[in-house]
């Protein structure tokens, strides 16, 4: 890594990587996961929402602002702020603490194996929405309470009088009037790990969804 980045100090490498990542996002190298913004806003209309992410806090905050969803997210927590990252539950437990909601009364909306394991270890109801072709999703089904193919399927808008679906039943089992929805998705963006690997790539490269 020191050879790649031309600097021997890991802290300086991290700073340069984050600076590069933020510049890339501000120059347009970011696009939402399909249905992600709408699903988040439906959740925020129904109860408090937090983001629990492995990205640095400054990156999470910047992306929320760029996507114009900062006002919809009550709290956001980086794994840098807790003792351990996913698959351990620390980041989810801290997000629940900041929202003032018990983990057992919260949903963890995830797309990865590490995230699903973290949500389950925190005692949350895990809703898995795997990304097509993403290696990080492999094996996550074993830790999910509900598996969806799209964020459009999340019934986070007020329910209509109809026969409950399987996801309705799973969410009803949480038994709270206002459920905390804590997204384990990186705010819809390319992951920090990918940016670290591609630090040397030109800023003009094609924007991609997060890993």
Least confident window among 21-35, 63-77, 145-159, 190-204: 190-204
Q: What is the pTM of this model?
A: 0.72
Q: How confident is the model at residue 183 (pLDDT cuts 50, 70, 90)?
A: low
Tokens of 180: 């905390």
Quote the mean pLDDT of the chain. Answer: 75
Q: How confident is the model at residue 118 (pLDDT cuts 50, 70, 90)?
A: very high
In eight-state DSSP terms, residue 162 is: S
Which helix (H) or strand (E) is 53 found in, with range? strand 49-53
Rounded alpha-carbon distances, angstroms, from residue 114 to 62, 98, 121, 181: 24, 22, 11, 18
CA distance 63 to 104: 28
Is the predicted pLDDT of residue 54 greater than 70, yes or no? yes
Higher pLDDT, 48 or 192: 48
Mean per-residue pLDDT for 95-99?
A: 95
Rounded alpha-carbon distances, angstroms, from residue 143 to 16, 24, 65, 194, 201: 36, 34, 31, 25, 35
Q: Are 101 and 107 in contact (CB under 8 A)?
A: no
DSSP, collapsed to helix, strand or coil, labels residue 37 as helix
**What strand order describes the sheet that includes 49-53?**
75-78, 49-53, 180-183, 106-110, 125-128, 146-147
Q: In the prediction, which pLDDT does 190 show?
A: 34
Higher pLDDT, 139 or 33: 139
Ramachandran region, residue 8 (left: φ > 0; alpha: ψ -120 to 50; beta: rest): alpha
> Read out DSSP for 77-133?
EEGGGSS--TTSSHHHHHHHHHHT--GGGEEEEESSHHHHHHHHHTTPEEEE-PPTT
Q: How confident is the model at residue 4 (pLDDT cuts 50, 70, 90)?
A: low
Higher pLDDT, 204 or 4: 4
Which helix (H) or strand (E) is 181 found in, with range? strand 180-183
CA distance 190 to 170: 30
Q: In the prediction, which pLDDT does 195 show?
A: 32
Which helix (H) or strand (E) is 16 found in, with range? helix 10-26
pLDDT by residue (tens digit) across 135-182? 888 889 999 999 988 888 875 444 444 444 444 444 444 433 344 556
Tell me phi and psi for residue 107, to 5 degrees.
Answer: -105, 135
């Amino acid at each position: 890594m020191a050879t790649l980045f031309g600097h021997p100090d890991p802290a300086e490498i991290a700073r340069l990587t984050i600076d590069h990542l933020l510049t890339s996002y501000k120059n347009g190298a970011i696009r939402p996961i399909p249905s992600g913004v709408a699903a988040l806003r439906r959740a925020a209309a129904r109860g408090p929402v937090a983001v629990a992410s492995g990205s640095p806090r400054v990156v999470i905050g910047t992306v929320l602002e760029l996507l114009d969803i900062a006002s919809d997210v009550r709290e956001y927590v980086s794994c840098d702020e807790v003792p351990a990252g996913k698959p351990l539950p620390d980041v989810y437990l801290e997000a629940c603490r900041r929202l003032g909601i018990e983990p057992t009364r919260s949903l963890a909306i995830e797309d990865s194996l590490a995230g699903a394991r973290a949500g389950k270890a925190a005692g949350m109801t895990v809703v898995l929405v795997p990304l097509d072709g993403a290696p990080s999703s492999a094996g996550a089904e074993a830790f999910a309470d509900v598996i969806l193919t799209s964020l459009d399927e999340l019934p986070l808008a007020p329910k209509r009088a109809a026969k409950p679906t399987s996801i309705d039943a799973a969410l009803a089992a949480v038994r709270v009037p206002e459920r905390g929805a804590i997204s384990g998705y990186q705010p819809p963006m390319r992951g920090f790990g990918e940016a670290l690997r591609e630090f040397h790539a030109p800023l003009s490269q094609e924007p991609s969804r997060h890993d």
